[in-house]
Amino acid sequence: MCSVKGKEWYQADDVAQEYESKRFSRGGQLIDRREKRAVLDSLGPVADADILEIACGTGRFTSMLAGKGANIVGIDISDAMLAQGRRKARDSGVSDNLELLRGDAARLPFPDDHFDAVFAVRFFHLAETPATFLTEMARVSNDIIFFDTFNHRSTRIIYNWLLPMGSHLYSRSRVEELLSDADLAMVDDTHDFLFPYGFYRKIPNDLARGFRDIDKSLGDGDFGDALASVSYWTATVTTDSTTTGRTDLETPHNVPDEAVTADD
Ligand SMILES: C[S@@+](CC[C@H](N)C(=O)[O-])C[C@H]1O[C@@H](n2cnc3c(N)ncnc32)[C@H](O)[C@@H]1O
């Protein structure tokens, strides 16, 4: 039986209502944009692609991808988070283009190889049994898997123990082990944010931009990858010796920052 503490934490209406304003207002807007860019870089062209997001929460990515023409399904265990997601989809005028389902990511209600890409953001730190979730993601994807992890050697450690919903930190070797066990091959990895997220959230967006530039320069240094708070991992299923279908998804796509508009 899989257990995720976040499974309980995100059920509460007030937690769901405040989810985005607490994390992605003020300097946190930069984090939201970075995460959206990471998803788009990983997935490449999404128009007409069949994409599943697990633990989709308030639909930050499902609405964005529906707006870009993807056939997107989001699944989450929390009705409260999904209610926010449905509202966002309505407000963005994309509710006819996406499907949001309540369900457990440990038992995805889809056949094998059903999607071109399956991804999760801000989920693996909540997972008590990440191998189960990754195996399920791999099962229903015919090609691309994307997810992020918070890193064991980073400023995340400083405040991690304060978080009520718990948080698991990962090393590169642990991620490699998980990928291998799920028959996935790594295609790309990027690492970012030396300064902690909590710092960005506390300062105004304009000020945050200056710190973000410093953060990026430090990240480009020799120890940047090793000390980054977050890693973005793109992998592909390996059960078939040739990667199926969308060869355009085999390498990461560098979508310029401007492509992630404020409206996303
Ligand atoms: C930190 S939020 C991330 C939401 C969204 N991915 C984002 O980045 O904004 C974590 C989400 O995982 C969901 N969750 C936790 N355990 C789950 C499970 N077993 N199956 C599906 N969703 C789950 C929670 O309900 C919550 O919406």
- Does residue 186 sit within a domain? yes
The reported pLDDT for the residue numbered 263 is 33
**pLDDT (tens digit per residue) in 60-90:** 999 999 999 999 999 999 999 999 999 999 9
Q: How confident is the model at residue 157 (pLDDT cuts 50, 70, 90)?
A: low
What pairs with residue 50 in β-bridges? 71
More confident residue, 166 or 250: 166
Domain containing 201 — which CATH number? 3.40.50.150
In a domain, 40, yes or no: yes
Q: How far is the CA of 6 from the centre of ligand 1 (A)?
A: 7
User: What integer pLDDT is reported at residue 58 of this predicted model?
Assistant: 98
In contact, 2 and 132? CB cutoff 8 Å: yes
Name the pLDDT band for 161 (thresholds 50, 70, 90): low
Residue 259 lies in a domain: no
CB 138 within 8 A of CB 237: yes
- The verdict on residue 254 lying in a domain is no
The pTM (predicted TM-score) of the whole model is: 0.88
Is the distance from the beta carbon of residue 33 to the nearest atom of ligand 1 less than 6 Å?
Answer: no
Q: What percent of the chain has pLDDT over 70?
A: 83
3-class secondary-structure state, position 125? coil
Mean pLDDT of 97-113: 97
Ligand 1 within 6 A of 121 CB?
Answer: yes
124 ligand 1 Cβ < 6 A: no
Residue type, 215: D
Helix residue ranges per DSSP H, 44-92? 60-67, 79-91
Q: What is the pLDDT of residues 9-66, one digit of tens each?
A: 899 999 999 999 999 999 999 999 999 999 999 999 999 999 999 999 999 999 999 9
- Report which residue type is found at 257: D
How confident is residue 245, by pLDDT bands cut at 50, 70 and 90?
Answer: very low
Nearest residue by C-alpha to atom 27 in ligand 1: 57
CB neighbour list of residue 143: distance below 8 Å, 6 or more residues apart = 116, 117, 236, 237, 243, 244, 245, 246, 249
**66 occurs within a structural domain:** yes
Residue 113 lies in a domain: yes
Q: Has residue 254 got a pLDDT over 60? A: no
Q: Is the CB of 170 under 6 A from ligand 1?
A: no
Instruction: Identify whether 165 is part of a domain.
Output: yes
> In this structure, what are the phi and psi dihedrals at residue 92, rounded to the nearest 5 degrees?
-90, -5
Angle at 61 between CA 93 and CA 251, to 5 degrees: 125
Residue 249 pLDDT grade (very low, low, confident, very high; cuts 50, 70, 90): very low
Total domains, the chain = 1
**What confidence tens digit (pLDDT) does each residue in 223-236 have?**
778 888 999 999 99
pLDDT tens, 194-219? 888 888 988 999 999 999 999 888 88
Query: How far apart are alpha carbons 202 and 162 in whole angstroms?
Result: 16
The pLDDT of 98-127, averaged and rounded, is 97
How would you label 17-32 residue by residue, b for 16+ Cβ within 10 Å and e otherwise?
eebbeebbebbbbbbb
Nearest one of 170, 175, 174, 147 to 160, comparing CA atoms: 170
Beta-carbon contacts of 203 under 8 Å, excluding residues fewer than 6 positions away, are 26, 27, 211
Within a domain: 98: yes
* Distance, CA of 40 to CA of 43 (rounded, Å): 5
Ligand 1 centroid to Cα of residue 220, in Å, is 30
* pLDDT of 221 strictly over 50: yes
Q: Indicate the pLDDT class of residue 241, thresholds 50, 70 and 90.
A: very low
Domain that holds residue 56: 5-232
Average pLDDT score over the chain: 87
Of 58-67, 131-140, 157-166, 237-246, the one with minimum mean pLDDT is 237-246
